[in-house]
Structure 1
Amino acid sequence: MQINEAWAKLQRDADDKIIASLPLVDHCLDVGAALTAILPSWAPYLEAAAGRPLTEQDRARLIVLAVLHDLGKANRGFQARTDRSRPPIGHTGPVAALLRDPVLKQGAAAGLLRAIIADWGVVDHFAAVMAHHGKPLPEFGPPPMMGVPPWQDHVRHWIAVDGHDPGRAVVDLVEAVHARWPLAWAAGPGLPDAPRFVALFAGLVTLADWLGSDTGRFPIAGPHGAARDGMRHEQAQAAAQARGLLPLETPSAISFADAFIHAPRGFQTAAADPALGPVALIEAETGSGKTEAALWRWLELRRQAMVDGLFFALPTRSAAVHLHGRVNDMLKRVWGADAPEAVLAVPGYWQSGDARGQALPGYAVRWDGGEPGGAEDSRWAAERANRFLAARVAVGTIDQALLGTLPVKHALFRASVLARSLLVVDEVHASDAYMTGLLDRLLDHHVGVGGQALLLSATLGAAARATLLKTPCPCRDEAMAQPYPALSGRGAAPHAVAGAGAGKRVRIAAEGLIHDPAAIAARAVEAARAGAAVLVVRNSVADAVAVAQAVAALADDLAFKVNDVATLHHGRFAPDDRKALDQAVEAAFGKQRIAGGRVLVGTQTLEQSLDIDADYLITDLAPIDVLLQRIGRLHRHARADRGAHGEARVLVLRPSARDLTPLLGKGGGGHGLGIVYPNLVQIESTLRQIEANPEIVLPRDNRRLVEGALHPEALAGVAREGGTAWINHAAERAGGTLAEGQAATRIALDLSQRFTTLVFGEAGEAAATRLGARDLLLDLETPLAGPFGRAITRIALPAWMVGRVAPGEAPVRLDDHRFQLGERRYVYDQWGLRREG
């Protein structure tokens, strides 16, 4: 076919022949219609970021700028892509050449654009629009001190050749937009230029572009021109509605009991008070009902039109998978048949509500009903990880939220769509300065655009609380005197609330067995033979596997099993197997478990959010906040069948020598001490607390234990008493902790800065990898034989496990349980994924 005008999209047949083209003007107007549809949903957050209400002219100018997002497709290099043999010239960076080249900027096209930029005061906004593919462009940043400007090579694509002037297509586009939104050109003050406003707008342009590029709703083949106008706005509204991007009313008559099938207890309704401020904090013991309190706060804030969506961020994938079903059930109780589906925001799972998806070629997903894309696009946000935060309701891992504050592709989109949601962060700890630093930066931006957040913790220390709530850090004595359980926030000082019920008495002992998996297994089996449900939590996967194998060898009848196969619980299992593991864990150790002895071994995946009710805990030494989280898995529910284990007991595994000084060398002493938990002053301080408190009562002693072990004053005292080696280590770790916090601050996006100064680089990718957000999802053409009876077609390979791999290289199956990727070989069996050899 002949293409006589600038095109934006092409449709090809099976023989790669062009059979239809979508004019540039039409596609750009489609995107304008999409932004028009979604703008009301995000207007409150744009206004909060701007610091003033948006006028009708402001809105018209934002829409016009979004419409101009693809004007660069008019350049000759892009238009030549009708021929597949031509080099793939882009369309965003080249716009900078049109505006900055001394000759090109004298032309009519550049004149129109430069007038818009100058008259509306939108230098940064225009750069934000051109970043709609996911990150700011160097072409729109400050000019280099020396060398060739990054836009220089694009100049040639705007020069008229053989009567074809690409600038003419730009003029046509601007004139069409001017005719459609004349108010944008009327005299008036410039657009708000607050940096957070511009960053939020940048992400919304990406959203509008994705909506307006849906060829199912905006077909390439037509209609075009004026015939498209009615369809354009109708389809944009329908797409936004189907994808959950328009407001949803909360039923006013729904009570707490309706939503959760039980009356509220303790603090659960008090936690919904908006006076707690834009960042609220619930501190309460594990099992006290913080999850229901968080969901009730969301419903109440929705009723007051303070939020629309919800993103529930958990520390592990297993925790997210577990909670997803509970949230989805709550939605059905509140909204009935019209309930939105909760998206499981975990890469590789493809679950929306009760529906399961299957990946198809070309990024399509086939859902349970057989329809790609879900019914009327309602599962659109569940199909790609970079869309998760656009869901009205999503349950996922904290890394998905933190990617909105790291300089990685689509960070601005993630942060922008998150603005309308209550961000709930579960299991916030005191002992991780890096994560606290990233979370602090995320909260700053979220609150800066009018967002709401809620933090949940059983073990948050005073220093981390002060950082996140922007309050002074109290001294140790004052910190210990703070109430617990408590509600607080950026709008309220901590105040006491009722907890879940009576205190839990726990006996704790420490022994030097951390290095001996056989001895650990023997202790666990001995307790299980006496009828106890025993939980063994280790700091590393390798140590957990060693104990699980020892338990299976010593007492196969007591080992935790899935489909009669002995195994354990950690994060290196394929998604389908992880679901089977979680279900088996809750069947064997949950509220409805059958009495009788058994042993479950795992890692940190067991300490968070799974509904585990163990009688006896064996755990590696770790910082006190982590230990308390693990202890929360003990005696979680009232039971009358615990027999000899009617009293909760914990065995803490420490090195064989009580003196931890030898661990101060590089790398620590293994078993996570010095690596997983690098601050050995925290470890020593925790061990002292355990030794001094062989019997504790929770939640009564929670605050005293956390502050006694982790408050800066407590850590300084331990270092002084330890002598020179400990003082030096403390200084090193203080520097390390400071460095960790500073590293997070240095790497994370500061969206209070001008958009044109933002730089995305390798540091952001490295940070995303560290979070586990860059794990490699491998599709296995020939499935592995799964250990629990299900073929494994997809598995996540942790980024740190990946060796040298050629671009596009696929994994090769070696046998039922082994595969190779690049230079490395891997084993996947009942003990999970690990490198061979």
Structure 2
Amino acid sequence: MREPVTWAKLERDGEGRVVAALPLIDHCLDVAAAFAAILPAWMDALTAAAGRVPTAQDIARLTVLAALHDLGKANRGFQARRDARVRPIVGHTGAVAALVKHSALIGTAAGTALRDMFVAWGSYQHFAAALAHHGRPLEEFYAEAPSDRWSRHYPQWVTGDDGDPAAEVMRLIEVVRARWPLAWEEGPPLPDAARFVALFAGLVTLADWVGSDTTRFPVAAPHGAEREALRVAAAADAVVARGLAPLETPPGDFLDAFGNPAYGFQAAAAAPDWGAVALIEAETGSGKTEAALWRWLEMRRRGEVDGLFFALPTRAAAVQLHARVNTVIGRVWGDDAPPAILAVPGYLRAGDATGQALPGFAVRWDAGDDAAPPDARWAAERANRFLAARVAVGTIDQALLAALPVKHALFRASVLARSLLVVDEVHASDAYMTGLLERLLTHHVAVGGRALLLSATLGGEARARLLKARPPSLEEAVVQPYPALSGQGVAPRAAAGSARSKRVTVETAGLIADAPAIAARAVAAARAGAAVLVVRNTVDGAVAVARAVAAMAGELAFAIDGVATVHHGRFAAEDRKRLDEAVSDTFGKGRGAGGRVLVGTQTLEQSLDIDADLLIADLAPMDVLLQRIGRLHRHDRDDRGAFSEARVVVLRPAVRDLGLLLEGKGARHGLGGYVYPNVTQLEATLALLEREACITIPQDNRRLVEQALHREALKTVARERGAAWVNRLNADRGGESAKGDSAKIAALDLSLRFTHLTFREDEDALTRLGARDLLIDLPAPLAGPFGSPVTQVTIPGWMSHRISGDAVARVDERRFTLGDWTFVYDQWGLRRDDAGDRT
């Protein structure tokens, strides 16, 4: 074949020989066509970020910059990659900095044309953003980048026997100028608001991914003028198929969408007057999910949003809710329903179709009931695309990656801008996560996005922080209505919820360290016919009780295919799916009668639609405990027998004095240590529960949360108990403040100019404060406890930080070594072979 002068993509045969090449100019025009095709869905976001409606000239200039995103591929080193044997491999993005900064290159025709464009359009920041389409700002364009960062690329632009790279760039500019002459006409500069530039950066990445789809934009001919009609049609087809084009919402009412009439707060939540960030506070199981989906549908009908990202606190909750969202979408759109994707790494699910990962990043999808075209599932195939889906259900971590300086954060933040971001089970127990959420909401709203927060247990101080309002006093907070609706600039208003009320008998027991005794209580209740849920603060605590239950009454233990197990986050992806499905089957809404015992950790306490007759739970802050109590008597049933009255047993240390935790003494089972460090919150919670043998949900929710978590209440508790308690409270507050400061330091500040943004060197993100987890590829699969071979395991950061060495070797079917440690993976999850009880 005749090689083009300058290529952008190559197609090789099985022996590595080039059989087709896509000219650089054609590829750049393909991506520009894709950029133009995606813009309609993000015009509102661009308008909000710019502070004005982008003009036709603005759009032309942005499209030109998108087209120039790959101009760096003209450099000599990149072009030499025609020969697959060439080393080292030379890239094409950072190299462009030399073309616009090096004194020997800025006088070339290309260098001059680019610099003139920066001056006339005010587009240097935008150009740097377009060059960052691989997922992060380039260090060569940093405002403080030393000259050696970009001057090292100079040799790649020197004219040689293989041609003049800068002249090839100029040829590209001339073609693009002829295609969009309006961009070069005299006019005001581009909007230079920092958030506008960051939004543009993410959209160029999206356009590059769309325009690089070789099934629609082939590497082989047609090229040149013959390609124009193909690229315009291909771009239009791609954005529709991938859910990137606006979609009309059929008319309908709440009954049509959900099959039942709306409660008062569900209908009221859809009103347009709650501000950019709205909040629904209502008891667990009251229908907040339906209210959120109805608000999204009504906002779509008003043209306020397009997409939806439903962020939940746990993987299990996301898996369970995904099916419910799919059902609602199917009822609204019928056969034309867009598939909701499951935005959880390790799962490949879109609509009712399931995918299988293949070599080379390919995915094979089963047909599913709706037989949706593969492109409709594009966003489900990679975790970094999740937020680009029209409808996605995932974990809060996926949303928070848009607020951290990691690869593809700008893409995530940009594609999210068209969506209603729903954050479920917001509460105040984690200052770091709350700080990241604040930063995400700030940017999301600034670019026209909308958000809805859901909570059963949010304290008044946390509500004020998230809604940017004045923090209420304890007296004011206790009398706030509940259930309630509020928003940024809108004070809480009473909301009519369901008429359902739940009386819960509370018992405290000093058994937190006695796993056999806890198991005995659970087994006795199960033998009497109860579905018993045991929620522990730590994995080790959960495993200890689950083992004891299996030993006492294996037939009553939570199991998969007869193998007794436990539910927590330290399982491999292959087994997490089975665990989540088993939880829904045995404790979900449709569960049958009969006794059983499910033991787990915090993975069971939030957002899951599971129902227990009896709850046994470790002591935790009041908001967390109320979340756990939300799994108790969640549904109306007439087969509870002796457990027709809701009961919770709260486990505390055998010695009631929590003062032993103040100096770290007895800091086990998550109390006073790394799980729930605020001892004063624990004391306030326990004292409240000891005074009240019975609580009523939802009537008592607001009072209980405020009296156990509000600053004024905690100050009173500490003062009543002495100087040591006051000192510990001050220390805990300092720790929480430090976590909040850590979130501010860690998070992206997209109010900064683009060339001032700096990203992490690695691609891992700390969406939760602590050591980074390790994902280990095993040299040979382990024999999974439930029949599936295990090829990867995740080792928690606290467990891995002291490991020396990185060699991985399998010991036997259940064990492997990493460095100098041996790990076991079995029906109880992952643990160090010689690890003691960390509880």
Which segment is superposed worse, 3-12 or 647-656? 3-12
CA distance in 2, matches of 1:625, 1:163: 68
8 Å contact kept, 1:267–1:293: yes
Confirm whether residue 648 of structure 1 aligns to residue 649 of structure 2: no
Match of 2:634 among 636, 641, 646: 636
Report the equivalent of 1:236.
Answer: 235
Q: 1:1-150 maps to which residues of 2 (within 5 A)?
A: 1-83=1-83, 84-144=85-145, 148-150=147-149
Q: For structure 2, which runs of at least 5 residues remain unmatched after alignment? A: 835-839
Report the equivalent of 1:535.
Answer: 533
Deviation string for 1:743-781 (max 9, x for gaps)? 111111111111111111259845247489x75555667
Q: Against the structure 1 CA distance between its residues 80 and 762, is the aligned structure 2 distance closer, same or farther, given a 3 Å change threshold? A: closer
Confirm whether residue 835 of structure 1 aligns to residue 839 of structure 2: no
Deviation string for 1:121-147 (max 9, x for gaps)? 012111111111111112111235xx6
Q: 1:372-451 maps to which residues of 2 (within 5 A)?
A: 375-451=373-449
8 Å contact kept, 2:507–2:650: yes
Report the equivalent of 2:675.
Answer: 676
Q: TM-score, normalised on structure 2?
A: 0.95
Q: Against the structure 1 CA distance between its residues 771 and 344, is the aligned structure 2 distance closer, same or farther, given a 3 Å change threshold? A: farther
The structural deviation recorded for 1:234 is 0.7
Name the SS for the 2:635 alignment partner.
coil
The structural deviation recorded for 1:62 is 0.5
The structural deviation recorded for 1:591 is 2.6
CA distance in 2, matches of 1:816, 1:763: 32
Deviation string for 1:318-344 (max 9, x for gaps)? 000010111111111111111111100
Q: 1:145-156 maps to which residues of 2 (within 5 A)?
A: 148-156=147-155
Name the SS for the 1:105 alignment partner.
coil
CA distance in 1, matches of 2:797, 2:222: 46
Which segment is superposed worse, 286-295 or 671-680? 671-680
CA distance in 1, matches of 2:821, 2:422: 39
Q: Against the structure 1 CA distance between its residues 766 and 59, is the aligned structure 2 distance closer, same or farther, given a 3 Å change threshold? A: closer
Report the equivalent of 2:733.
Answer: 734
Report the equivalent of 2:589.
Answer: 591
The structural deviation recorded for 1:651 is 1.1
CA distance in 2, matches of 1:291, 1:35: 34
CA distance in 2, matches of 1:204, 1:301: 23
Deviation string for 1:797-819 (max 9, x for gaps)? 44554576988x7x654433334
The structural deviation recorded for 1:499 is 1.8
CA distance in 2, matches of 1:668, 1:151: 56
Name the SS for the 2:452 alignment partner.
strand
CA distance in 2, matches of 1:353, 1:815: 39
The structural deviation recorded for 1:590 is 2.6
CA distance in 2, matches of 1:344, 1:662: 44
Aligned residues: percent identity?
65
Which segment is superposed worse, 88-97 or 387-396? 88-97
Q: For structure 1, which runs of at least 5 residues remain unmatched after alignment? A: none
Report the equivalent of 1:332.
Answer: 330
Q: Against the structure 1 CA distance between its residues 14 and 802, is the aligned structure 2 distance closer, same or farther, given a 3 Å change threshold? A: farther
Name the SS for the 1:427 alignment partner.
coil
Could you tell me which amino acid in structure 2 is paired with residue 204 of structure 1? Answer: L
Which segment is superposed worse, 722-731 or 291-300? 722-731
Name the SS for the 2:133 alignment partner.
coil
Which segment is superposed worse, 74-83 or 228-237? 74-83
8 Å contact kept, 1:318–1:571: no
8 Å contact kept, 1:348–1:777: no
Which segment is superposed worse, 476-485 or 778-787? 778-787
CA distance in 2, matches of 1:110, 1:789: 61
CA distance in 2, matches of 1:163, 1:829: 59
Report the equivalent of 1:686.
Answer: 685
Report the equivalent of 2:661.
Answer: 663
The structural deviation recorded for 1:638 is 1.6
8 Å contact kept, 1:41–1:247: yes
8 Å contact kept, 1:769–1:799: no
8 Å contact kept, 1:668–1:675: no
Confirm whether residue 544 of structure 1 aligns to residue 545 of structure 2: no
The structural deviation recorded for 1:399 is 0.4
8 Å contact kept, 1:23–1:224: yes
8 Å contact kept, 1:431–1:710: no
Deviation string for 1:91-117 (max 9, x for gaps)? 111111111112211111100000111
Deviation string for 1:232-280 (max 9, x for gaps)? 111111111111100111111x221121111112311111112011101
The structural deviation recorded for 1:211 is 0.8
8 Å contact kept, 2:80–2:86: no
Which segment is superposed worse, 238-247 or 498-507? 498-507
8 Å contact kept, 1:275–1:491: no
Match of 2:355 among 338, 357, 361: 357
Q: Against the structure 1 CA distance between its residues 822 and 385, is the aligned structure 2 distance closer, same or farther, given a 3 Å change threshold? A: farther
Deviation string for 1:292-322 (max 9, x for gaps)? 0000111000101111111000001000001
8 Å contact kept, 1:81–1:87: no
Match of 2:284 among 283, 286, 289: 286
Q: Against the structure 1 CA distance between its residues 587 and 157, is the aligned structure 2 distance closer, same or farther, given a 3 Å change threshold? A: closer
Which segment is superposed worse, 528-537 or 155-164? 155-164
Report the equivalent of 2:217.
Answer: 218
Report the equivalent of 1:298.
Answer: 296
Name the SS for the 1:652 alignment partner.
strand
8 Å contact kept, 1:535–1:599: yes
Which segment is superposed worse, 611-620 or 64-73? 611-620
The structural deviation recorded for 1:82 is 1.9
8 Å contact kept, 2:784–2:790: yes
Could you tell me which amino acid in structure 2 is paired with residue 193 of structure 1? Answer: D
CA distance in 2, matches of 1:781, 1:321: 29
Q: Against the structure 1 CA distance between its residues 584 and 232, is the aligned structure 2 distance closer, same or farther, given a 3 Å change threshold? A: same
The structural deviation recorded for 1:21 is 1.3
Could you tell me which amino acid in structure 2 is paired with residue 296 of structure 1? Answer: W
Measured on the aligned residues, the alpha-carbon RMSD in Å equals: 2.1
CA distance in 2, matches of 1:68, 1:186: 18
Q: Against the structure 1 CA distance between its residues 576 and 533, is the aligned structure 2 distance closer, same or farther, given a 3 Å change threshold? A: same
Could you tell me which amino acid in structure 1 is paired with residue 753 of structure 2? Answer: R
Report the equivalent of 2:823.
Answer: 826
CA distance in 1, matches of 2:610, 2:527: 19
Deviation string for 1:359-408 (max 9, x for gaps)? 111111111149xx983422110100000000111000000000000000
Name the SS for the 1:21 alignment partner.
strand
Deviation string for 1:501-535 (max 9, x for gaps)? 23211111222211110111111122222222211
8 Å contact kept, 1:47–1:53: yes
CA distance in 1, matches of 2:403, 2:63: 25
CA distance in 1, matches of 2:749, 2:648: 44
Deviation string for 1:6-31 (max 9, x for gaps)? 11111111111112211111111110
Name the SS for the 1:268 alignment partner.
helix
8 Å contact kept, 2:805–2:818: no
CA distance in 2, matches of 1:128, 1:625: 42
CA distance in 2, matches of 1:246, 1:101: 41
Report the equivalent of 1:453.
Answer: 451
8 Å contact kept, 1:287–1:636: yes
8 Å contact kept, 2:785–2:827: yes
Q: Against the structure 1 CA distance between its residues 776 and 275, is the aligned structure 2 distance closer, same or farther, given a 3 Å change threshold? A: same
Q: Against the structure 1 CA distance between its residues 762 and 18, is the aligned structure 2 distance closer, same or farther, given a 3 Å change threshold? A: closer
8 Å contact kept, 1:310–1:423: yes
Q: Against the structure 1 CA distance between its residues 775 and 368, is the aligned structure 2 distance closer, same or farther, given a 3 Å change threshold? A: farther
CA distance in 1, matches of 2:585, 2:702: 32
Which segment is superposed worse, 32-41 or 571-580? 571-580
Could you tell me which amino acid in structure 2 is paired with residue 125 of structure 1? Answer: H
The structural deviation recorded for 1:605 is 1.1
CA distance in 2, matches of 1:577, 1:4: 50
Q: Against the structure 1 CA distance between its residues 731 and 766, is the aligned structure 2 distance closer, same or farther, given a 3 Å change threshold? A: farther
Name the SS for the 1:8 alignment partner.
strand
8 Å contact kept, 1:399–1:771: no
Report the equivalent of 1:703.
Answer: 702
CA distance in 1, matches of 2:98, 2:409: 26
